[in-house]
Structure 1
Amino acid sequence: MLDFIQKNAEPLISFGISVLIFFGFFLVSKLFQYKMVPVLRHLFSKLKGNFATRLLERINLPLSTFWLLIGAQIALSRLFPQNVLPVSLTHIFRSGYALLVGWTACNLVDLIPILPQLNWNNSEAIKKILRRILKALILAFAVVIVIGEFGYDVNGLVAGLGLGGLTISLAAKDSAANMFSGLLLLIERPFELGDWISCTAAEGTVEDISFRSTKIRTFANTVSVVPNSVLCAGTITNVTRMEMRLSKSTIGITYDTPRDKIEKVIAELREMLTTAPDIVSDTVQVRLTGFGASSIDVLVQYYTSVTAYKDWLAVTERVNFDILSIMRSNQVEFAFPSRSIYIEKNGQ
C-alpha cells in the first residue's frame, strides 16, 4: 500500500497543484468582476465624463474570462511532461484567446466616436449601422483566425462548400442589399426618424432604421418591418415634408336651384375660404365643374397651411360647417342620388 502511494504521489500532487492554480485564477476572476470593478466604477464616477466607467463595463466580462482561460492553460500544462500542452490543446487555447480579443473589440466598438461631426436627425441610426458592420468584420476576422488555427485553408473551405456556399452567397446578397439600401436611405435622407411616410409596403411613422429593415408604425398602431431593399425599390412619399395639405370635395346641388342662387353660393363659399384662417387664400378654387346624374357639381378645393393630420381634420371640419351654413342661409338643397321614372299612358 505504501509503495502504491509513493508511486502515485507525484501525479496526485501535480493534479492537486493544478486544481489549486485553477481555483486561484477563478478567485482572481471573481474578485475582479465583483469586488474590484465596483470599486473602480465608484472612483471613476467622481471624474468628469463617463468614458472610464463605460470602458470598465465593457471589459469587465472579457477580462474576467481571460483570467479563467489563463488559469485553465497553466493548470492543464502541469499535467503534461515538461509543462508543455499538446498541440491540439494549444490550438484550442489560442483560438479561445482570438475569440476573447474579438469579443473585447466588439464591446469597445460602442465607445468609438464614429462620424462625430454628423448632426443629421438620422445620425444615430447611421452610427448604429456602421458599428454593426464593424462588429461583423471583427467577428469574421476572429472566426477566420480560429479556422486557420486548426490548419484549414479558409479559401479552400469556402470554395468547397458547393451548394451550401451558393446558399450562403444568396443569403449574404440579400443581407448586403438591405445593408447598402439602409445606408442609402440614411445618406440621401428621403425621410427621417419620426416622419410620416407612405410606400408600397406600409404607411405610418418611421420609428427605426436598422441594419436590415425600417420599422413603420401604421394607422392601426401596428409596426410594419419593411426590408430596406424593398423600401428603396418603390416610391416613398414623405407626408411630413408637405408645405401645404390639399383638401378637395364636390358639392352636389339640386337641378331645380335657380342660377342666381348657385352663383351667390359659389361667391360666398369663395369669400369664406379666402378669409378663413389656416387656409392659403391663393389656392382656393370654387367652380361649377359639371352636371352629374342627379346634381349640379361644384368643386371646392383649397390647401391648408397646417399639415399635421389632426390639425388638417380640424380645419376641414370647420370649413364643412361653414359650407353647411351658407347652403342653408341661401335655401339651396344638397342633391342626393335619385332617379326619375316617366310612365306613358296608352292612347296618348
Structure 2
Amino acid sequence: MDNGIERWRMLLASFQRLEWIDITIAIAIFLVFLVFRKLFTKYIFKFILTLTRKTPTEVFTNVLLSFEKPLRLFWIVLGTYLAMLYLPFNITTTEFVQHIYRTFIIMILGWGLYNYMSAQSAFFFRFARKVELDEDSMLVPFLSKILRFSVIALTIVVIAGEWGYSISGFVAGLGLGGLAFALAAQDTIGNFFGGIIIITEKPFSKGDWIKTPSVEGTVEDITFRSTQIRTFEDSIVTVPNSTLSNEPITNWSKMNKRQITFKVGVTYSTPQQKLERCVRKIEILLREHEDVNQDLIMVRFSDFNSSSLDIFVYFFTKTTAWTEWYRVKEDINFKIMSILEEEEVVIAFPSRSLYVEKDQQSVFEDLIEEEKMDVRQEEKSSK
C-alpha cells in the first residue's frame, strides 16, 4: 500500500516537472501513428492483401480481412502507449496502465477471431464444400454461433485473469447454474438438440414439401427451437423441433418422379375383345406420352368388381410439381375417355341387379293390378 502511494507521489512530481516540449513530442508521436493508421488502411493493407491473394492458400487473406478493423484500433493503442512512454514520468510501468493495455490487446485479438468465425467467412465455405452441405443448411450458422460464443467466453476469461480474478469459482458457479437451468428448461434443450438432429441429418431443407403425422406443407424456416411450415391453406404452423425430430417425415420434394394410379371401371356388358383393345390402347397412350416416365407402366384388366370390370392403371409422371402433375393427369384422363368412346365402351357406375323367381313375380303382378284398379276407381269418383 505504501509503495503504491509513493509511486503515485513520484508520478505527480514528474507531472509537475513536465515541460511543453515533452507534451508536444508525445502528441506528435500519437499523430504520426494516427496518420500511419490511415496510410496503413488505405495503401499498405491493400498492398499486403494483394500479395497474400497470390499465395496458394487463402488462409492469410482471410486472417487479414478478419483483422482489418481490429488493426485500426491497434495502431491507436500502440500510438498512445509510445506517446506516454516518451513522457518523463514512467506511467506505463504502473500495474494499472499495463493491465489496461494488455486488456486492449486481448480484446483486439478476440475481435479478429470473432470476425474470422463469421458464417460468411471463407473458412466455413471451405468446410461446407468438403462435407458437401447445401446452401440452405443450418449447420454452418450453428457452428459459427458456437465458435463465436466460445471466442467471446475465452476473451472474457482471459481478461478476467489479467485483472487477477479467480476463474475457478466462476466456472463452478456456471456448472451449478447450468444444472439448474437444464432442469428448468428441458423442453427448450430438447428442441435445441432436435434442431441439431434436423440440421445434421438433413431430412428436409427450406422450401421442401413435407408431410408428418402432425402437419403437411412447405418448410418456410428452420431455427434451433422450431420449424415453420406453410400449409396448403396458406397458414404458418410452428412445430417444435423435439416433436418433428421424433416423427416420421415424408419429403415429397425428394421425389424424382410422381405416381398416378387409378382404376377404370367398365360395364359387364363390354365384350372381351373391346376390353382387350382398351387395355392395349391405354398402355400405348402412356408409352408415347412425353410427360410420362417410362421406367414402370402398368395397364391390366385387374378385377371383376361388384358392378364393373376394372382396368388397373399405374404409372409415374416426369414432373413432381403439383400443378404440372395435375395437368398431365387431366390430359391422360381425357385421352382415356376418348379411347373408351372410340371403342363404344361405357364406364360403369355403382349399381345392383334384382332377380325375382317366377312364383314371386306373379304375386308382384297381382299387387300392381290391384293398385291400378284403385287408381281408376278414385278417378271415377272424382268425376
TM-score bucket (shorter structure): 0.5 to 0.7
Q: Under a length normalisation based on structure 1, what TM-score does the superposition of the two structures give? A: 0.67
Cα distance in 2, alignment partners of residues 63 and 308 from structure 1: 53
Cα distance in 2, alignment partners of residues 299 and 283 from structure 1: 7
Match runs of 1:82-231 below 5 Å: 82-84=90-92, 86-109=94-117, 110-112=121-123, 114=127, 117-119=130-132, 121=134, 126-127=139-140, 129-157=142-170, 180-185=193-198, 187-191=200-204, 196-199=209-212, 200=214, 203-204=217-218, 228-231=241-244
- Contact persistence 2:281–2:339 (CA under 8 A): no
Q: How far 1:66 sits from its partner (Å)?
A: 1.4
- Larger helix fraction of residues: 2
Tell me the alpha carbon deviations over residues 209-234 of structure 1, each in whole angstroms, 9 at most, x when there is no partner. Answer: 77777687877999988765454233
- Contact persistence 2:301–2:310 (CA under 8 A): no
Equivalent in 302, 315, 324 of residue 328 of structure 2: 315
Tell me the alpha carbon deviations over residues 163-212 of structure 1, each in whole angstroms, 9 at most, x when there is no partner. Answer: 98678657997776566545544554434677544344563368x87777
Residues 323 and 115 of structure 1: is their aligned pair in 2 closer, same or farther, counting only changes over 3 Å? closer
Equivalent in 14, 25, 31 of residue 23 of structure 1: 31
SS across alignment from 2:298: helix
Residues 77 and 185 of structure 1: is their aligned pair in 2 closer, same or farther, counting only changes over 3 Å? same
Asked which structure has the greater CA Rg, the reply is 2
Correspondence 1:234 to 2:234: no
Cα distance in 2, alignment partners of residues 213 and 76 from structure 1: 54
Q: Which amino acid aligns with 1:204?
A: T
Q: Which amino acid aligns with 1:332?
A: V
Aligned to 2:18: 10
Q: Under a length normalisation based on structure 2, what TM-score does the superposition of the two structures give? A: 0.62
SS across alignment from 1:190: coil
Q: Which amino acid aligns with 1:313?
A: Y
Residues 158 and 119 of structure 1: is their aligned pair in 2 closer, same or farther, counting only changes over 3 Å? closer
Q: How far 1:288 sits from its partner (Å)?
A: 6.2
Aligned to 2:298: 282
Match runs of 1:21-100 below 5 Å: 21-44=29-52, 52-75=60-83, 81-84=89-92, 86-100=94-108
Equivalent in 260, 278, 282 of residue 269 of structure 2: 260
- Contact persistence 2:208–2:252 (CA under 8 A): yes
Residues 164 and 182 of structure 1: is their aligned pair in 2 closer, same or farther, counting only changes over 3 Å? closer
- Contact persistence 2:211–2:251 (CA under 8 A): yes
Q: How far 1:65 sits from its partner (Å)?
A: 1.7
Q: How far 1:102 sits from its partner (Å)?
A: 1.7
Q: How far 1:51 sits from its partner (Å)?
A: 5.2
Cα distance in 2, alignment partners of residues 151 and 240 from structure 1: 57
Q: How far 1:304 sits from its partner (Å)?
A: 0.4
Cα distance in 2, alignment partners of residues 225 and 75 from structure 1: 59
CA RMSD of aligned residues (A): 4.9
Gaps of 5+ in 2: 1-14, 351-367, 376-383
Cα distance in 2, alignment partners of residues 218 and 82 from structure 1: 71
Indicate the percent of aligned positions where both proteins have the same amino acid.
28
Cα distance in 2, alignment partners of residues 228 and 42 from structure 1: 46
Q: Which amino acid aligns with 1:281?
A: I
